[in-house]
Each structure stands twice: as structure tokens, then as C-alpha cells.
Amino acid sequence: MSQSLAHDLNTVTLFERLGGAAGIRRIVDGTVAAHMCNPVIKARFQPYEDQPERVEEIKQHTCDFFAAGSGGPDQYQGRSMAEAHRDMDIAAEEYEAAADDIMTTMTALNYDAALRDEVYGILQSLKDEIIHK
């Protein structure tokens, strides 16, 4: 067996370890629900409460973003992170609150600490594109 085929057979992508599209959807649903009651950032998301179609579109884009970035088959069709968040003036404290909501949701869904740390590292790598400087 060639080296690269052996490698492909042994590599389980992050997408698969997150439980594929269904796992990512559960994380995104739980995280959006957590954002809606997180005192640091809820004001950012509450205006969308009466726009269920827009919420669904944002959730779909977020699912695709994580799927595309973790080795899944989906294409991301939304805006770049810098473009989507540029005009929001997001503070570092808000960024940490959003990342905490993702970690809390992953804990509630029984993802282990190693997987949570891996996702947290990816989130940190996006920070500069999202917060206001």
C-alpha cells in the first residue's frame, strides 16, 4: 500500500470527528441559542429574533463555514469573516463570549476536551478578522 493511501485511510477529518453535518448543525443551533441569552453579546443577535429566515440563512452559512474549514464536503457561500463582521465594531470581550458559548455548547453535547481545544484553536486563528482594531 502506498504511503499516501495509508495516510488517507488513517486520517479522520475534524469534520468527521465533529459528527459530520448533523454534529455541526447541533453545535450551531446550541451556540445561537446560547448567544441569545449571553448578556455580553445578546443585543447583537436579538434583532434577528423576528427574522427566522435570516437566522436560518446565517446558521446555514455558519454550518457550511465550519464544514468547509474542517475537511467536509460543503462549499462556503457566505461572506468572508472580515467582510461579515467589519461594520460591527466587535470588542475582544465579545469575541471571547462568543467562543465561550461554542465551548459550553460542545461540552453540553459531550465533545471531549481534546476536540474542544482543537476547535478553540481554530476560533483563535480567526480572531483578527472578526474583532475591531
Tell the smallest beta-carbon distance from residue 2 to ligand HEM (Å).
36
Residue type, 30: G
Q: Single out the residue of 31, 62, 70, 105 in contact with ligand HEM (rule: CB under 6 A).
A: 62
DSSP summary character for residue 89: -
Q: Is residue 24 within the footprint of ligand HEM (CB under 6 A)?
A: no
Q: Specify the residue, 1 or 39, whose C-beta has the smaller distance to ligand HEM.
A: 39
Q: Where are the alpha helices (DSSP H) in 19-91?
A: 20-36, 42-45, 52-69, 81-85
Q: Specify the residue, 17 or 61, whose C-beta has the smaller distance to ligand HEM.
A: 61
Task: Quote the cell numbers at residue 7.
Answer: 495516510
Of 4-12, 19-27, 41-49, 105-113: span binding ligand HEM (CB under 6 A): 41-49
Instruction: Determine the size of the site formed for ligand HEM (CB under 6 A).
Output: 18
Give the integer Cα–Cα distance in Å for 122 and 1. Answer: 33
Cα 16–Cα 101–Cα 75 angle in degrees, nearest 5: 40
- Judge contact between 66 and 28, C-beta under 8 A: yes
Q: Is residue 123 within the footprint of ligand HEM (CB under 6 A)?
A: yes
Tell the smallest beta-carbon distance from residue 24 to ligand HEM (Å).
12
What residues line the site for ligand HEM (CB under 6 A)? 41, 44-45, 58, 61-62, 65, 78-79, 84-85, 90, 94-95, 98, 123, 126, 130
